[in-house]
């Protein structure tokens, strides 16, 4: 037997109660793993955004189009390297549940301002030269088992075409993949060419949803943003230029402050775990006062007895917490399958593991400290006499 | 082995100070087996706690196994107890979630012995009390007498010179009590352990080599009637 065995034996002294407490901790940390993955995905757009990119939208609203005539004037500003533009298409593949972001973009410029998009030279060549070409993120290709060369029909929800239908057909020329941390931004998207889209649509010709401006010197981003907005001030299409990070955050916040909602849920869950575990440990401690007094009688120091009680609390949280995070790790692939490409792939990141571990240790120490201090201060004579 | 000089002990209960022991002088030589007797509330257990280093005197000097216990702090007292005293209680006080062997091993966790050595010594101690075949049983699977034997094995496993026993047979039937007392007598005679045993029972006291009587916190020469 070792002190570790003694600690474990103490922890599982009332097996049923400990297992129930453990189950609630597993559930709480599984929820934490899932929610933190969602929080990270919603924040990732902002965190991964290139510092040298500006987004130009209508000053009125994100959905208000801008005239394409603004493009050369923006390009002419000193310090601007390249300008791409995009339109939100809002197309649906086969079923509304199969939603994923699909954009009509200026192909060469789009790839130029997003160097983190990885694709083969042959795919790049086809996308730049074939009018009906489309690029799909690798997650979409896997999800729908698409093959290069296949025709992809999308049902437009905003733009009917000149043929009088909402069905638009694209030729898949290959897959794209985001580089490193930007995977989540591109791997679930479908891109196709603006010229094909603009010719084919019934209305709003010569307009774009937003411009993406790559600046030469990130330190001048603010000044260039002000210059762009000043250029179109008092025109029919006033602009609002922001950093890509600000734009992404504003986009996400259309759905509400996801980070705050998730954090609030997690705080409530952990507060419940805190109360539950504290109650269990304090009950266990009360029952074991004579046993702790015996340990002290045998020569266990105050510090060792305090450490044993604190160790039980931390071990309980670690067992449950790690179990919960493992459960979340195992559950997320299935959840990703259900979500499809509505969200970028969710995963329990090393950051979530580290944060989870810190929370486990924090709660373990917090709930273990009061009974541990009581155990340390326990007077043997009083405890043995049941006073 | 034990030398008490002018030992007094009082407790504060609420606003009142209750004197339990008054100027007790007592000498117990090495290898003695003393029965500490007296009516309830006479201070027997308090005296035993002072000798065992579980409590500190309000006044006087408690010298046991060469150490002045009143001068030791709680950490030093814990170390001293682990090295010098084995404790046997009326209600055995075994840890219910551990096997008999693990219960006996507990005091050895505080030593530098390897896990293998600890296990071997625990088995030797269990053999000494005749319970080697119950090593893997938990306290709930043992009779009262067997539990007390395990407690005795735990008390002797680290080979202390002094055993303090608080009513060790108080919860046992006559036959089992006699077996336990015979075992204590054997530990005293064959292994040279100094034993101080608190008891109400005159028959139990007969197993000791001498009797000491306490009445209202004062040592008396004769039994209190």
pLDDT band at A38 (very low <50, low <70, confident <90, very high): confident
The verdict on B110 touching A (C-beta cutoff 8 Å) is yes
Interface with chain A: mutation pick from B10, B54, B97, B160, highest number of A CBs within 10 Å: B97
How far CA B54 is from CA of A306, B83, B91, B205, in Å, comes to 18, 14, 17, 23
Q: Contact at 8 Å (CB) between A210 and A55?
A: yes
The verdict on B55 touching A (C-beta cutoff 8 Å) is yes
CA distance B42 to B46: 9
Q: Contact at 8 Å (CB) between A42 and A185?
A: no
Residues of chain A with Cβ-Cβ distance to B82 below 8 Å are 298-299
Higher pLDDT, B48 or A336: B48
Search chain A and give the residue with CA nearest B78. Answer: A299
The verdict on B18 touching A (C-beta cutoff 8 Å) is no
Interface of A with B (CB under 8 A): 1-3, 5-6, 9-10, 12-13, 290-291, 294-303, 380-381, 384-385
Contact A13 B107 (CB under 8 A): no
Nearest to A297 among B87, B101, B105 (CB): B87
CA distance B130 to B125: 9
Nearest to A381 among B55, B81, B118 (CB): B55
The mean pLDDT value for A297-326 works out to: 93
Nearest to B110 among A300, A303, A380 (CB): A300
Radius of gyration over alpha carbons of chain B, in Å?
Answer: 17
CA distance A63 to A81: 26
Q: Contact at 8 Å (CB) between A381 and B164?
A: no
Higher pLDDT, A283 or A296: A296
CA distance A2 to B155: 18
CA distance A311 to A326: 22
CATH 2.60.40.650, domain B2-220, yes or no: no
CA distance B77 to A301: 9
pLDDT band at A343 (very low <50, low <70, confident <90, very high): low
Q: Contact at 8 Å (CB) between A93 and A188?
A: no
Distance of CA B106 to the CA centre of its chain: 16
CA distance B48 to B51: 5
Q: What is the residue-wise DSSP string for B65-118? A: TTEEGGG--HHHHHHHHHHHEEEE-TT----TTS-HHHHHHGGGGGSS--HHHH
Interface with chain B: mutation pick from A10, A14, A299, A308, highest number of B CBs within 10 Å: A299
Q: What is the pLDDT of residue A48?
A: 43
Contact B109 A290 (CB under 8 A): no
Q: What is the pLDDT of residue A180?
A: 65
The mean pLDDT value for A298-322 works out to: 93
Q: What is the pLDDT of residue A249?
A: 65
Burial of B144 (0-12, 13-18, 19+ CB in 10 A): middle
Contact A9 B98 (CB under 8 A): yes
Nearest to B110 among A299, A302, A384 (CB): A299
Residues of chain B with Cβ-Cβ distance to A301 below 8 Å are 74-75, 78-79
The verdict on B54 touching A (C-beta cutoff 8 Å) is yes
Q: What is the pLDDT of residue A245?
A: 72
Nearest to A291 among B87, B95, B119 (CB): B95
* Of the candidate ranges A106-120, A351-365, B97-111, B161-175, the one whose mean pLDDT is the lowest: B161-175
Residues of chain A with Cβ-Cβ distance to B159 below 8 Å are none
Contact A9 B95 (CB under 8 A): yes
Q: Where are the domains of chain B?
A: 2-220
Contact B102 A298 (CB under 8 A): no
CA distance A307 to B175: 42
Distance of CA A23 to the CA centre of its chain: 26
First-residue to last-residue Cα distance in chain A? 31
Give 3-state DSSP helix, strand, coil % of chain B, rounded to 5: 40, 25, 35
Degrees, nearest 5: CA angle A326-A332-A335: 150
Degrees, nearest 5: CA angle B162-B164-B165: 145
Tokens at residue A101, please?
Answer: 């972001």
CA distance A252 to A45: 9
The verdict on B78 touching A (C-beta cutoff 8 Å) is yes
The verdict on B102 touching A (C-beta cutoff 8 Å) is yes
pLDDT band at A338 (very low <50, low <70, confident <90, very high): low
Per-residue pLDDT at A254 exceeds 70: no
The verdict on B90 touching A (C-beta cutoff 8 Å) is no
Search chain A and give the residue with CA nearest B156. Answer: A298
The verdict on B218 touching A (C-beta cutoff 8 Å) is no
Contact B82 A384 (CB under 8 A): no
Contact B98 A299 (CB under 8 A): no
Q: Contact at 8 Å (CB) between B197 and B209?
A: no
Contact A297 B79 (CB under 8 A): no
Nearest to B81 among A2, A6, A299 (CB): A299
How far CA A288 is from CA of A212, A284, B109, in Å, comes to 66, 6, 19
Nearest to A298 among B49, B55, B107 (CB): B107
Search chain A and give the residue with CA nearest B160. Answer: A298
Contact B74 A302 (CB under 8 A): yes
CA distance A4 to B109: 11
Q: Contact at 8 Å (CB) between B113 and B82?
A: no
Q: How close A18 comes to chain B (CA, Å)? A: 14
Whether the CA torsion A84, A89, A92, A97 is positive or negative: it is: positive
The mean pLDDT value for A134-139 works out to: 94
Q: What is the pLDDT of residue A256?
A: 66
Q: What is the pLDDT of residue B201?
A: 87
Kindly give the pairing relationship between strand A210-215 and strand A167-178: unpaired
Distance of CA B36 to the CA centre of its chain: 11
Higher pLDDT, A284 or A373: A373
Tokens at residue B147, please?
Answer: 């539990």
Contact B107 A297 (CB under 8 A): no
Q: How close B190 comes to chain A (CA, Å)? A: 24
Search chain A and give the residue with CA nearest B112. Answer: A2
The mean pLDDT value for A310-317 works out to: 93
Q: Where are the domains of chain A?
A: 3-45+257-384, 60-237
The verdict on B97 touching A (C-beta cutoff 8 Å) is yes
Q: What is the 3 state secondary structure string of chain A?
A: CCHHHHHHHHHCCCHHHHHHHHHHHHHHHHHHHHHHHHHHHHHHHHHHCCCCEEEEEECCCCCCCEECCHHHHHHCCCCEEEEEEEEECCCECCCHHHCCCEEEECHHHHHHHCCCEECCHHHHHHHHHCCCEEEEEHHHHHHHCCCCCCEEEEECCCCCECCCCCEEEEEEEEEEEECHHHHHHHCCCEEEEHHHHHHHECCCCCEECEEEEEECCHHHHHHHHHHHHHHCCCCCCCEEEEEHHHHHHHHHHHHCCHHHHHHHHHHHHHHHHHHHHHHHHHHHHHHCHHHHHHHHHHCCCHHHHHHHHHHHHHHHHHHHHHHHHHHHHHHHHHHHHHHCCCCCCCCCCHHHHHHHHHHHHHHHHHHHHHHHHHHHHCCHHHHHCCC
pLDDT band at A44 (very low <50, low <70, confident <90, very high): low
DSSP letter, residue B55:
S
First-residue to last-residue Cα distance in chain B? 30
* Of the candidate ranges A184-193, A253-262, B70-79, B210-219, the one whose mean pLDDT is the lowest: A253-262
Each residue's pLDDT expressed in tens, for chain B with a length of 225 residues? 899 999 999 988 788 888 899 999 999 999 999 999 998 888 999 999 999 999 999 999 999 988 999 999 989 999 999 999 999 988 888 999 999 999 999 999 989 999 999 999 999 999 988 889 999 999 999 998 899 999 999 999 999 999 999 988 888 888 888 988 998 999 999 989 999 999 988 898 999 999 999 988 888 866 555
Residues of chain B with Cβ-Cβ distance to A303 below 8 Å are 75
Higher pLDDT, A226 or B13: A226
Per-residue pLDDT at A328 exceeds 80: yes
Residue B160 makes CB contacts below 8 A (sequence gap 6+) with: B83, B84, B85, B86, B193
Q: What is the pLDDT of residue A49?
A: 47
Kindly give the pairing relationship between strand A151-155 and strand B210-215: unpaired
């Amino acid at each position: 037997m070792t002190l570790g065995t003694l600690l474990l034996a103490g922890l599982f002294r009332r097996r049923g109660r400990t297992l129930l407490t453990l189950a609630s901790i597993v559930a709480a940390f599984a929820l934490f793993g899932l929610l933190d993955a969602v929080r990270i995905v919603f924040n990732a757009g902002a965190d991964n955004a290139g510092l040298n990119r500006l987004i130009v939208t209508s000053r009125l609203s994100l959905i208000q189009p801008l005239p394409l005539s603004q493009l050369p004037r923006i390009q002419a500003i000193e310090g601007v390297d390249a300008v791409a533009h995009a339109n939100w298409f809002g197309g649906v593949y086969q079923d509304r549940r199969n939603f994923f972001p699909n954009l009509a973009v200026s192909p060469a410029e789009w790839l130029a301002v997003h160097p983190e998009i990885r694709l083969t030279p042959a795919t790049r060549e086809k996308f730049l030269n074939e009018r009906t070409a489309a690029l799909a993120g690798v997650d979409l290709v896997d999800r729908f088992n698409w093959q290069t060369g296949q025709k992809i029909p999308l049902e437009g929800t905003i733009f009917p075409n000149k043929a009088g239908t909402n069905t638009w057909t694209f030729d898949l020329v290959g897959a794209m993949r985001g580089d490193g941390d930007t995977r989540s931004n591109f791997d679930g998207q479908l891109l196709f060419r603006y010229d094909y889209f603009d010719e084919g649509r019934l209305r709003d010709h010569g307009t774009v949803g937003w411009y993406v401006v790559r600046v030469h010197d990130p330190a001048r981003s603010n000044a260039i943003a002000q210059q762009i907005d000043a250029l179109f001030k008092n025109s029919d299409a006033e602009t609002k230029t922001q950093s890509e990070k600000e734009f992404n955050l504003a986009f996400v916040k259309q759905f509400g402050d996801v980070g705050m909602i998730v954090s609030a849920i997690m705080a409530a869950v952990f507060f419940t775990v805190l109360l539950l575990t504290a109650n269990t440990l304090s009950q266990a401690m009360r029952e074991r006062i004579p046993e702790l007094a015996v340990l002290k009688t045998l020569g266990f120091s105050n510090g060792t007895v305090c450490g044993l009680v604190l160790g039980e609390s931390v071990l309980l949280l670690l067992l449950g917490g790690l179990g919960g995070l493992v459960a979340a790790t195992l559950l997320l692939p299935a959840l990703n399958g259900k979500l499809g490409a509505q969200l970028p792939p969710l995963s329990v990141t090393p950051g979530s593991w580290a944060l989870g571990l810190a929370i486990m240790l924090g709660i373990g120490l917090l709930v273990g400290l009061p009974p541990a201090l009581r155990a340390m201060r326990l007077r043997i004579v009083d405890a043995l006499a049941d006073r | 082995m034990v030398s008490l000089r002018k030992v007094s002990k009082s407790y504060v209960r609420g606003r009142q100070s209750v004197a339990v022991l008054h100027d007790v002088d007592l000498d117990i030589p090495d290898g003695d087996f003393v029965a500490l007797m007296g009516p309830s509330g006479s201070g027997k257990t308090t005296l035993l706690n002072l000798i065992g280093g579980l409590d500190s005197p309000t006044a006087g000097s408690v010298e046991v196994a060469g150490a002045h216990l009143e001068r030791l702090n709680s950490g030093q007292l814990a170390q001293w107890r682990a090295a010098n005293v084995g404790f046997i209680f009326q209600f055995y006080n075994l840890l219910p979630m551990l096997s008999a062997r693990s219960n006996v091993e507990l005091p050895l966790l505080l030593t530098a012995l390897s896990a293998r050595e600890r296990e071997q010594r625990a088995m030797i101690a269990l053999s000494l009390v005749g319970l080697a075949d119950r090593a893997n049983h938990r306290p709930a699977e043992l009779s009262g007498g067997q539990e007390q034997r395990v407690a005795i094995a735990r008390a002797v496993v680290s080979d202390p010179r002094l055993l303090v026993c608080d009513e060790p047979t108080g919860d046992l039937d006559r036959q089992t009590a006699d077996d336990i007392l015979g075992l204590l007598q054997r530990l005293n005679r064959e292994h040279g352990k100094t034993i101080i045993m608190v008891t109400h029972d005159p028959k139990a006291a007969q197993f000791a080599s001498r009797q000491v009587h306490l009445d209202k916190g004062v040592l008396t020469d004769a039994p209190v009637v």
